[in-house]
């Protein structure tokens, strides 16, 4: 896939996402749509065979749609179900994760929520997460949604990424800063 195709698919994903956001706005059901997207994502993560089956070119779309109906019909809204079927018809099922991500970004923007990726060596305790969340909300004057990840390379401390901003309170970051000031290289 070349860069023009990536840009084109990104634009297409944005259009689908915007359409889903408009549907949610018209029904005032933003959370239901988010929950439905979360369920769809969860089902795909749990099944290693489902996505390859739906993207397989030799399987007929009517068979794919039957599977989608069996799995999701009683679980998600008609608008999400129709989106899945439309993506199958257009051979664009592979952009579903981008659509979901863009929808969540639009929802967070509307609600003035920023996602903060938090990297630590070990899992943070709930009270530490809450304290960090509260401090970030005060600092940025926004609601914060924490996404915690384990990263053994930081040695200790914490690294927080919010959009294009990075707050590096890791031991690795401090060692790198010390090395730069001493004009040496650390691997």
Residue where one domain finishes, among candidates 108, 132, 162 = 108
Task: Grade residue 154 by pLDDT with cuts at 50, 70 and 90.
Answer: confident
* Residue range 32-66, pLDDT digits in tens: 999 999 999 999 999 989 989 998 889 999 999 99
Can you name the residues that pair with 119 across neighbouring β-strands? 149, 159
Based on the domain organization, do 48 and 75 belong to the same domain?
yes
Query: Which pLDDT score, from 0 to 100, does residue 183 have?
Result: 73
The answer as to whether 163 is a domain residue is yes
Residue where one domain finishes, among candidates 80, 108, 136 = 108
Task: Grade residue 1 by pLDDT with cuts at 50, 70 and 90.
Answer: low
What residues have CB less than 8 Å from 144, skipping those under 6 apart? 113, 114, 115, 116, 133, 136, 137, 162
In order, the DSSP letters of 120-154 are ESSPPPHHHHHHHHHHHHHHHTSEEEEEEEE-GGG
What residues have CB less than 8 Å from 44, skipping those under 6 apart? 50, 51
User: Would you say 150 and 156 are in contact if contact means Cβ atoms under 8 Å apart?
Assistant: no
Based on the domain organization, do 26 and 100 belong to the same domain?
yes
* Residue range 75-88, pLDDT digits in tens: 999 999 999 999 99
* Residue range 175-184, pLDDT digits in tens: 777 777 787 7
Query: Which domain covers residue 11, as residue numbers?
Result: 3-108
CATH at 151: 3.40.30
* 81: number of Cβ within 10 Å: 20
* Average pLDDT of the residues of the chain: 89
Q: Which of 37-41, 69-73, 92-96, 167-171 has the lowest mean pLDDT?
A: 167-171
The answer as to whether 52 is a domain residue is yes
CATH at 101: 1.10.520.20
- Mean pLDDT over residues 133-145, rounded? 91
pLDDT above 90 (res 163)? no
The answer as to whether 187 is a domain residue is no
Based on the domain organization, do 46 and 137 belong to the same domain?
no
Total structural domains in the chain? 2
Based on the domain organization, do 130 and 98 belong to the same domain?
no
Based on the domain organization, do 37 and 50 belong to the same domain?
yes
Based on the domain organization, do 37 and 102 belong to the same domain?
yes
Torsion on CA atoms 120, 122, 127, 128, rounded to nearest 10:
-30
Residue where one domain finishes, among candidates 72, 91, 108 = 108
In whole angstroms, give the CA distance from residue 59 to residue 34: 29
Based on the domain organization, do 77 and 90 belong to the same domain?
yes
What kind and span of H or E run contains 101? helix 96-110
Mapped onto helix, strand or coil, the DSSP state of residue 28 is coil
Based on the domain organization, do 151 and 172 belong to the same domain?
yes
Q: Which of 31-35, 87-91, 142-146, 162-166 has the lowest mean pLDDT?
A: 162-166
The answer as to whether 176 is a domain residue is yes
Distance of alpha carbon 91 from the chain centroid: 22
């Amino acid at each position: 896939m070349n860069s023009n195709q990536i840009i084109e698919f990104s634009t297409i994903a944005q259009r689908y996402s915007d359409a889903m956001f408009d549907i949610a706005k018209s029904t005032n059901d933003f959370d239901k749509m988010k929950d439905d997207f979360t369920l769809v994502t969860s089902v795909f993560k749990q099944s290693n065979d489902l996505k390859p089956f739906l993207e397989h070119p030799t399987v007929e779309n009517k068979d794919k749609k039957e599977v989608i109906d069996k799995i999701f019909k009683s679980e998600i809204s008609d608008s999400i179900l129709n989106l899945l079927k439309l993506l199958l018809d257009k051979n664009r099922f592979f952009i579903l994760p981008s659509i979901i991500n863009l929808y969540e970004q639009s929802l967070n923007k509307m609600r003035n929520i920023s996602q903060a990726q938090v990297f630590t060596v070990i899992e943070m305790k709930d009270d530490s997460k809450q304290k960090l969340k509260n401090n970030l909300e005060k600092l940025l004057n926004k609601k914060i949604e924490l996404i915690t990840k384990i990263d053994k390379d930081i040695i200790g401390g914490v690294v927080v990424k919010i959009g294009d901003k990075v707050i590096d309170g890791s031991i690795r970051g401090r060692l790198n800063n010390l090395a730069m000031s001493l004009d040496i290289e650390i691997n």
